Every structure is written in structure tokens, then in C-alpha cells.
Amino acid sequence: MKCPFCGSLDTQVKDSRPSEDGTAVRRRRVCPDCGARFTTFERVQLRELTVLKRSGRRVPFDREKLRRSIAIALRKRPVEEERIDRLVSDIVRQLESQGENEIESEAIGQLVMQRLRDIDTVAYVRFASVYRNFRDPKDFEDLLGEIAHAAAAGADRP
């Protein structure tokens, strides 16, 4: 691992332990050249994922882009950062375990919408408005009608 302070490639691991959410390994490192100490997080990657966009383009899957879009939907909502990190890890793990290297962007969006709907309805509406490319207020009304209908149907269940 390259030292972020002096650029040395010969850093040493002093301590390793699972991260708090259990999805990565936290390593404390020291650089023998400059003496700097720093922390790295290493995640197991089951496979290289490629996203197939609606335009037909193929781009490498970007975990941070997924996290940013979910965080934007959840901005100023009562959801802790740790929960967002767990959500992202769960989604990535689910995508990796599907057995496909190429995943359509639509499938990722649907998965995020399903998970956000369970966590926070406002975040779900925010994400859906971008994902479904809402053009006018009627689109919001339709989605809110779907949510109300689903809530009423859920209340009827024993």
C-alpha cells in the first residue's frame, strides 16, 4: 500500500481487524520511510461488475456513485450514516452474488428503490423522481398514489 504522505510503496501493517459493519478489514499501517501512520479499509470483491446503461454503454460499477445517490436521496432524513453504509454493502453483495458480471442500470435502480421504500418513503420518492425522470407534478401524484395504495393494501393484511 502506498503511503499517502511520502509515496513510499513499502508500508507495514501494524494491526488488522474487521470494520464496525463487518464488510471490510480495517488496517492500521505505518510508513518506515517517513514514520506516518494511516488507516486503510479493504473490501472483498467477489467479481468485477459492469453496468449496462440504457444507452448501451458499459461502465465499471462504482460503489461510491451508488453510495452518493443513496445519500442524496436520504439527505436531511433521520437515517444514520452507518445504516447507509450497510444498505450499500447489502446491495453490492446482492449484485455480486447474482452470478452475472454485467448488470443493467435499471436493475440496480429497482433494487435501490425497493430498499429505500422500506427505509424512508421521502427518500424513496426523491430517488424515484430522478430514476424515473419525472417531468411534471402528475408523475409525483402517480407515485404517491401507488404508495398510498400499497400502504392501504398492507393495512388490510392480517
- Reported as a single tens digit per residue, the pLDDT across 33-75 is 999 999 998 876 556 899 999 899 999 999 999 999 999 999 9
Cα 12 from Cα 26, distance rounded (Å): 13
Q: How far is CA 150 from CA 22, 38, 57, 112, 147, in A?
A: 34, 48, 35, 18, 5
Contact between 49 and 95 under an 8 Å Cβ cutoff? The reply is yes
Please provide the distance, in angstroms rounded to a whole number, between the alpha carbons at the two ends of the chain: 55
The whole-model pTM stands at 0.67
Nine cell digits for residue 14: 501494524
* Residues of the chain below pLDDT 70: 21-23, 44-47, 155-158
Cα 74 from Cα 47, distance rounded (Å): 28
